[in-house]
Amino acid sequence: MDVKKSLITALSLVAVAVLADPAPVADLSRSSNKSYAAQSSSRSGSVEERLSALERVVEARAAAQLQMQQQLQTLLDEVSELSGKTEMHSYKLEEILQQQRDIYQEIDRRMGGQGGAASQVQSSANVPAQTPANVPAGNPAAVVAADQVATADVAAAPAAVTMTEAQAYEQAINYVIKDNNYAAAIPAFENFIRDYPNSDYTSNSHYWLGQLYYQKNELGKAKNHFERVVTQYPNTTRVPDALLKLGMVAEKQNESAAAKKYYNQLVKSFPKSKPAATARKKLETM
């Protein structure tokens, strides 16, 4: 009986102890909420970082595109400026070429219509030097004195000025255009060819020598210079004119077959040129 009471008393004490100090219970819901919040925070931070990185990439690309657009616009402006300069230079070049063509046409016109001028100039050039004026005939002392004065004048004359390539060619052309001095033009062109064999004007010089000799009826020399234009300078603008003149030289030499050969070559090689039109007319009458 006492044992039973003791057991009941012990059980009662245990029950009271349990009620007084309950065992801790794990709050699973709170723990899971904290874990989810931490994961969400981690994911949120990762997305923000990615967005920031994307924004930086977009900004960098936008800046690069803007810079490329500016560079492209600069290049377009430079191309436009260069195009304008090219057009201006082309216009000036065409203007110079037209002036040169006008000069050549004027020379052709003058040489074609003033055949007597060359002989007049040549005859005047062949006039012997006259004795000094006011020198009494038969007076040796006076003649010697006059010679000494002439020698002194020559010594006092300034030395010849060295001309540039363009000046030398212009002088030769002016002998023909301005002065009608064909006798002086021939040595001027010959000297130019000797001094400037590789000049851009050398082919023209050969052509005008051919013209001048043709005008003097020295057909062999004229033919030689016209042939040089055709064979040595086949890419120059004077070739059609030279072929036409070679045909005319052959006609003057009564070589009809050679003349036809030159005219046909001209018509075939330069069908749209003015000399070709003249050659066609000549072929119709031969």
Could you read off the pLDDT of 268-282 as tens digits, one per residue? 999 999 999 999 999
Residue numbers of the domain that contains 72:
63-99
Q: What is the pLDDT of residues 207-217, one digit of tens each?
A: 999 999 999 99
The two structure tokens encoding residue 37: 């919040």
Report yes or no on 93 lying in a domain: yes
Place of tokens 């919040």: 37
Spatial distance between the Cα atoms of 14 and 111, rounded to a whole number of angstroms: 150
| Alpha-carbon distance values, 182 to 167, 178, 215 (Å) | 18, 11, 9
Smallest CA-to-CA distance from 274 within 251, 241, 245 is with 241
The amino acid occupying position 210 is G
Report yes or no on 276 lying in a domain: no
Report yes or no on 225 lying in a domain: no
The number of beta carbons lying within 10 Å of the beta carbon of residue 177 is 14
Number of domains in the chain: 1
Spatial distance between the Cα atoms of 106 and 104, rounded to a whole number of angstroms: 5
Report yes or no on 74 lying in a domain: yes
Q: What is the pLDDT of residues 225-270, one digit of tens each?
A: 999 999 999 999 999 999 999 999 999 999 999 999 999 999 999 9
Q: Return the SS3 of 116.
A: helix
Catalogue the E-assigned strands of the chain.
none
DSSP 205-232: HHHHHHHHHHHTT-HHHHHHHHHHHHHH
pLDDT of 121 higher than 50? no
pTM: 0.50
